[in-house]
Copies of this chain bind each other. A is one copy, B any other.
C-alpha cells in the first residue's frame, strides 16, 4: 500500500506528481538535487505546489517536505518516484543508492530502460538491497511548469503500462498504484520502455523539421506545425520498426490505430486525452526550440540507441531509426550511438532470448 512517497526531481513531472499525490491524501516529500537549488527555491520556500488543471481549476498541495537532502527525502518512504529526464537517471540514482532501504520500490516515469540500468548499477556497487525497480511507459500527464512551484496539466494518460523488475513483483506494484494512476500490467520492463512514444515520435519529427526549427526557434510547434503528412509517414515507419523489435523480444506494443498517425492531436497516441474543450492541447505544445532539445538529446541516446542495440542483437533492420540517429548526430556534431545507453549498460548485452526473459522475470 502507498503511504509515504518521495518524488525525486524538480521539473514539470516531479512537481505534478508530488502535488497530485499529496492532493490524493498521501504523505509526499519532493527532493531536487542541490545543484538545481536556485530554480527549486520557490518550492523549498513554500513547501507547497500549485496545480492548475484544465476543467478542475487550481488547487494547492501541502507537502510533507520539500528538500535537497536525498537521505532525508527517502528515509522511511515505501515508494520513490522518479519522474525525471533520463539524462538525470544516473545522477539521482547514485545519490539515493547509499540510503536505499529494504522493501522500497523505485518507479521511473517513463522508464527509458531505467529499471535495467539501475539494476546494473546496484550489481556493480555490490548492493544487495531488497528493493523493487519499476517503471511506467510514460509520464501520466502532459504538463509544464508555468512559474516556480506552479504547474499546469493539459493532458492525462488514461492507460499507463506498468512493470517491475523482477516482473513477478509487477502485480504487487500495480495493485499499490492502481488507486492513483490508470495502470495496466505490462509483461516486463522491456514492454514499458519500448512503448514509450517519445523516442518514436520526437527524434524523427525533429530531424525532418530541422530547417523549420533552426528558423523558427521559440515559435515552433512540432505537433501543430511539424506533423505534416511526410513526418507522420516517417513516425509510422519508426513505430513499425520498434514493433518488429518488440516481436523479436516477445513484447506487445500498445495499439496505435492507423488514423492516430495522421492526427496532430493523437500522434502521441490515443492513450492521452485532453478535456474536450481544449481539444487542440497536444497540437499546441510548444517546441522543440532547437536541435539540441530533449526531443533529440534525451530521446535518441536514452530511447532510440537501446532500441538500435536490441535490433542489432536480434538481427532486425531499422533503417529509419538508424537514419534518424545518424542525421541528428551529423547535425549536432555528436556521436549518439557512442554516447547512448548501450545493452552493456543495461546488463543485457549478447543475450539469447531465454536468457533475456530470465533476467526480466527474476531480476538477474
Contacts and interface: CB of A to CB of B under 8 A. Distances in A.
Interface in A47-103: none
A319 B336 CA distance: 13
Q: For the complex formed by this chain, how many copies does it contain in all?
A: 2
B210 A330 contact: no
A177 to B, nearest CB: 37
A226 interface: yes
Contact of A323 (B210, B229, B233, B326): B326
Q: Secondary structure at chain A's binding surface: helix, strand, loop or mixed?
A: helix
Interface stretch (A134-142, A165-173, A211-219, A248-256): A211-219
Most buried by B among A211, A323, A330: A211
A352 to B, nearest CB: 28
B214 A229 contact: yes
Contacts of A204: 327
A333 interface: yes
A322 interface: yes
Query: Interface residue tally of chain A, by bracket?
Result: 20 to 34
A207 interface: yes
A287 to B, nearest CB: 14
B331 A234 contact: yes
Contacts of A227: 211
A208 interface: yes
A318 to B, nearest CB: 10
Contacts of A205: 211
Contacts of A291: 230
A230 B323 contact: no
Contacts of A212: 209, 211-212, 215
A263 interface: no
Contacts of A233: 330-331, 333
A1 to B, nearest CB: 48
Contacts of A226: 211
Contacts of A231: 210-211, 214
A238 to B, nearest CB: 9
A100 to B, nearest CB: 41
A83 to B, nearest CB: 29
Given A209-B210, A214-B229, A326 B331 contact: no
Nearest to A220: B211
A230 B331 contact: yes
15 contacts: A207-B208, A208-B210, A209-B212, A210-B231, A210-B234, A211-B211, A211-B228, A212-B212, A212-B215, A230-B331, A237-B330, A319-B326, A320-B327, A324-B327, A327-B327
Interface of A: 204-205, 207-215, 225-231, 233-234, 237, 291, 319-320, 322-324, 326-327, 330-331, 333
